[in-house]
Structure 1
Amino acid sequence: MTSSQPAHRTKHVPVLRCPFNACTFSLTQLADGVSNGTALWLGGQCLAMYLADTHPKFANKHRRPRAIELGSGTGLTALALSSLGWDVLATDIPHVISSVLAKNISDNLSALPIGSGIIQIRELDWSVPPENWTWDHELVIASHSEQSSAAPTPALLQPPFDLIISADTVYSPELVQPMLRTLHGLCTASSSASATARPPQIILCVERRDPVLLDRLLADAKENWKFTVERIPHKKLVKVVEKSFQWDRSDWEGIELWKFKANQ
């Protein structure tokens, strides 16, 4: 099935064919209730469309641009950004990586056009504080599971990042502070990695299912973590969605794009 439909209409489909620019990605998804991250969600679709239209303004002009994604899920947004010429570090929890993410990235590498960036996958558990992260392990940045030691690998993607992205990851109060701490830690690591690196832009794509939860996230980001928080005008999202798909506005009217910037 070709998924030019909003994701909530295709949760029952085990393998989706997702068109993006000149590519078509084949994505396995699971709707077994074990994890929210194993199915395609609307925010990932909208974020991919937004990046297709705007990604050059976030790029580093002196090297291939580099992004990290929190909660990569089925891998659509990571594949989309890679196809636009970005190196992408896709992160998630072990169950999502082993059940859908690793397979989808591997299966779709041949669909990427010439000039695409590389994609790497690593575990990043938000509940692990940044002082306990590692950037030289090929499988893990942060985990509560004990990992075998690994020799440093120069080819691994690591800070500085130019862009941090995340979609459909604001759904539980328990995740708010770990997520904001993780975002702040990534910004700090990027700034520390290069004296000339500017703090990475952060783009969150969220669906306003729980207004109280989302408002808490935004307030905490500003008050407790000192991020500059700005909503990307809805008309920009309307423009890119309508350019890609003829969706009924009611199918995605709850989607919002937010831009964070660390004040360091």
Structure 2
Amino acid sequence: MSSAWEDADMEGALKIPPRNLGVRSFPGGIKIMTNTKLLLEDTGGDVWKGAIALGRFMLAEFSEVLAESRVLELAAGTGYLGLTLSVKGAARVVMSDKECMISLLHGNILLNSDSLELDARPIEAITLDWNHGEEAIALMKDESFDFIIMSDVFYEEEIVEPLIRTLRTLCCLHARRRKPLKNMSEEELPQIYISASHRSERIEGLFMQGIKPWFSCEEIRSKNHKLNEVFRKEMIVIFKLAPARMTFDEFAAGLGLSSMRSNQGRERKNVSDCRKDNRDPLDTLQEKRIVTGSCHFAVGYDLELLD
């Protein structure tokens, strides 16, 4: 899968090309439509170096397994990272973000459709708001992923708790497919990578402190030494998260997901009644929630019934 993109001069490896009529054209053929209005309202309306860096890293480290890999991108923004991995051969890519970003993601999928093999390697954009846990549940009801990736997410304090809870929820839902449940660190869980270029030390510190009970986090280097040097000069880091060694119930504590594993009472009856009435049990998630600050997480449903 060698291309001009991978073989480009390392000094310009993370260069963001200028806009031409609102579109940035990257080496290797990726074209990204930007949105100034979204950029002013949110950081997701343009491409940041963290996305380019993580794309470079993924191709350097995982090119041999990419063709069999299913990738979930959180906070996808313009979709540059997910589109790059899809063009380079990822088996399936799901790009997720808040609802306001989905039109831009769809537009960039369409803009790059000539480079994408959509029948062989599907790619899609979906809404996944970290403040709404039921969206993560709906996503993982029928999906599993090999990688969960995100770039440049350390920009405001309000995202820290919802992001951590979303990562825990996704890992729990993935782990629940494996029976019997083992310690979380022993499960075949998605590999989680985060790149950071536009960094707030305070927000990054809050995130690192917040994940300590649930995940280990290490700054990792690429096997490509030239790429490491570029990252060092640009002050970009790649973090890898791995679930801590604890039981499923310990890892899921406070998420409302442990009850999905063990509850055999009223909630099971509620979901069973939905099935009898030909109603999707996920439609009833709004009926019962845990509310923590601005975060809402569905509770009280048995994952066995959602398998």
**TM-score normalized by the length of structure 2:** 0.64
**Aligned 1:1-264 pairs, distance under 5 A:** 6=14, 10=18, 14-19=22-27, 23-32=28-37, 33-56=40-63, 64-86=68-90, 87-98=92-103, 100-112=104-116, 117-130=121-134, 133-135=137-139, 158-195=142-179, 198-207=188-197, 209-223=199-213, 226-233=214-221, 236=223, 239-240=226-227, 250=233, 252-253=234-235, 255-263=236-244, 264=248
Cα RMSD of the aligned pairs, angstroms, is 3.2
Q: Deviations over 1:182-233 (max 9, x none)?
A: 111111111123449601110000126311211221121113xx11211113
Higher Cα radius of gyration: 2
CA separation of 1:218 and 1:202: change in aligned 2, threshold 3 A: same
**Whole-Å Cα distance in 2 between the matches of residues 13 and 248 of structure 1?**
30
Relative to structure 1, the CA distance from residue 9 to residue 85 in structure 2 (aligned partners, 3 Å threshold; closer, same or farther) is closer
Inter-CA distance 158–8: structure 2 relative to 1 (3 Å threshold): same
Relative to its length, the structure with more helix (as a share) is 2
Q: How many angstroms apart in 1 are the aligned matches of 2:161 and 2:88?
A: 31
Report the Cα distance in structure 1 between the residues aligned to 2:74 and 2:136, rounded to whole angstroms. Answer: 17
List gaps (5 residues or longer) in structure 1. 136-140, 142-156
Structure 1 residues 5-29: Cα deviation after superposition (integer angstroms, max 9, x where no partner): 746774797211112xxx3111101
Query: Does the 8 A contact of 2:53 with 2:231 survive in 1?
Result: no
Letter in 1 for 2:239: W
Q: Hey, what's the Cα distance between the residues in 2 that align with 1:41 and 1:80? A: 14
Contact 2:17 2:26 in 1 (8 A): no
Q: When the two structures are aligned, how many residues end up with a matched partner?
A: 227
Residue aligned with 1:190, SS? helix
Seen in structure 2, the aligned counterparts of structure 1 residues 18 and 189 have a Cα distance that, compared at 3 Å, is same
Give the aligned residue type for 1:262: P
Structure 1 counterpart of 2:26, one-letter code: C
8 Å Cα contact 1:17-1:25 kept in structure 2: yes
Percent identity over the alignment?
A: 26
Structure 1 length-normalised TM = 0.74
Worse-superposed segment, 105-114 or 167-176: 105-114
In structure 1, distance between residues paired with 2:145 and 2:138: 15
Q: CA deviation at 1:237?
A: 7.0
Q: Secondary structure at the match of 1:81?
A: helix
2:175 and 2:88 map into 1 onto residues whose CA distance is: 24
Displacement after TM superposition at 1:72 (Å): 0.8
Task: Please list every run of 5 or more consecutive structure 2 residues that lacks an aligned counterpart in the other structure.
Answer: 6-11, 181-186, 249-307
Q: 3-state SS of the aligned residue for 1:258?
A: strand
Q: Secondary structure at the match of 1:159?
A: coil
Verify the 8 A CA contact 2:17 2:25 in the aligned structure 1: no
Per mean C-alpha deviation after superposition, the further-off stretch among 102-111 and 208-217 is 208-217
